[in-house]
């Protein structure tokens, strides 16, 4: 199968050019002026083509909470936001703490065949932070383990988990929260555990990725330990970039303008590696009853573009690095750039169109951005060389 994209405005971490893209058998074959026969030709009329976005931190709620989201609707939501790859957290019901559930999720996602799915496995049985899983018996396909939704408050347990994960040369994704401090201050809770886990990463050699970092002191700790060559990376969310002093319930909490200013500075100085959504669907009833979290896949690019590019002059090249290139490298995959031999995961964006946030492909609608208008429309999403989403076109097979 050959697909030719004509008249593209190609933007990735390194490129900002006008050219054609030839895709063959799910891979990018060549870039340039191309006129050879193809199975399908799409003239993009100078619309922007970027590497598909990669979300390192997503909740699709399968298994056990399908009233909120499932692998199918979550994938549709991802495609509508330009995401071609999502890394799912393991705080499902039952918890992903064994190979059987892990492989059930991957097998089902392959049947659905919409986006690339990766799945984290919990670090303790049933996410109770008491008994470690057997890391040596965990499926070798696993990229990261995570106790997501909870911090690992017990320091000895954290040390043992880091040590075991380092032995098998995998990584851990950290939800930094010391639950002994949460009621006193969510800021203290995040900062203290971030500092501890940076130190443990340095001392054990365990690869650590910090999820949804939101405070000045946590970012400063990450910067300090990165300079000491600890094997750490970190992400921030669109909502922590955009919202301030809000009581909309997310975890970690929405912070202040000073925290936002620090995040932007750390992005400019490449301390922040990635932007991840923490897409967390809830039913209206659960959200009304105080559940933490918001959906984010379908609005992420627009919010990032507004805050980083429109308000702070950060280039689309840098945005592509944060949303595609660096996440791909953290996962260890040949994605996230428009380079021959790389996976043909692409998103087409029309920056001459604005969108109004009003409806979602997700089952849930727990978003604080409903009614807001943003620059940029996701027009098409291509996964492994196949058009999986086209705005305004309904595919009955989905």
Active site residues: 278
CA pair distance 78, 398, nearest whole angstrom: 13
Phi, psi of 14 (to 5 degrees): -115, -25
Tokens of 290: 């105080």
């Amino acid at each position: 199968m050959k697909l030719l994209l004509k008249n593209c405005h190609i933007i990735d971490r390194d490129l900002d050019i006008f050219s054609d893209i030839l895709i063959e058998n799910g891979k990018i074959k060549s870039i340039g002026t191309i006129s050879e026969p193809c199975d399908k030709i799409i003239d993009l009329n100078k619309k922007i083509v970027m590497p598909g976005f990669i979300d390192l931190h997503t909740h699709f709620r399968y298994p056990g909470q399908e009233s909120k989201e499932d692998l199918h609707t979550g994938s549709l939501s991802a495609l509508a936001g330009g995401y071609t790859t999502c890394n799912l957290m393991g705080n499902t019901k039952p918890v992903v703490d064994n190979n059987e559930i892990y492989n059930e999720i991957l097998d089902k996602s392959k049947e659905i065949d919409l986006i690339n799915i990766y799945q984290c496995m919990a670090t303790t049985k049933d996410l109770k932070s008491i008994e470690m899983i057997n890391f040596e018996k965990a499926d070798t396909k696993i990229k990261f383990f995570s106790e997501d939704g909870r911090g690992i408050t017990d320091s000895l347990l954290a040390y043992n988990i880091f040590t075991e994960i380092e032995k098998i040369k995998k990584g851990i994704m950290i939800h930094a929260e010391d639950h002994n401090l949460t009621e006193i201050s969510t800021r203290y809770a995040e900062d203290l555990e971030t500092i501890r886990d940076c130190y443990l990463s340095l001392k054990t050699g365990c690869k650590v990725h910090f999820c949804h970092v939101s405070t000045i002191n946590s970012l400063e700790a990450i910067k300090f330990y990165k300079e000491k060559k600890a094997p750490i990376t970190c992400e921030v969310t669109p909502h922590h970039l955009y919202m301030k002093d809000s009581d909309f319930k997310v975890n970690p909490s929405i912070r202040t303008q000073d925290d936002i200013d620090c995040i932007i500075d750390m992005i400019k100085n490449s301390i922040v590696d990635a932007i991840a959504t923490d897409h967390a669907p809830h039913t209206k009833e659960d959200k009304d009853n105080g559940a933490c979290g918001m959906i984010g896949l379908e609005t992420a690019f627009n919010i990032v573009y507004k805050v980083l590019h429109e308000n702070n002059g950060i280039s689309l090249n840098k945005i592509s690095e944060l949303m595609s290139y660096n996440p791909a490298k953290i996962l260890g995959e040949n994605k996230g750039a428009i380079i021959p031999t790389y996976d043909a995961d692409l998103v087409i964006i029309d920056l001459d169109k604005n969108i109004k946030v009003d409806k979602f492909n997700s089952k849930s609608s727990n978003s604080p951005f409903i009614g807001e208008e943003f620059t940029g429309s996701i027009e098409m999403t291509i996964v492994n060389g196949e058009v999986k989403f086209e705005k305004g076109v309904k595919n009955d097979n989905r």
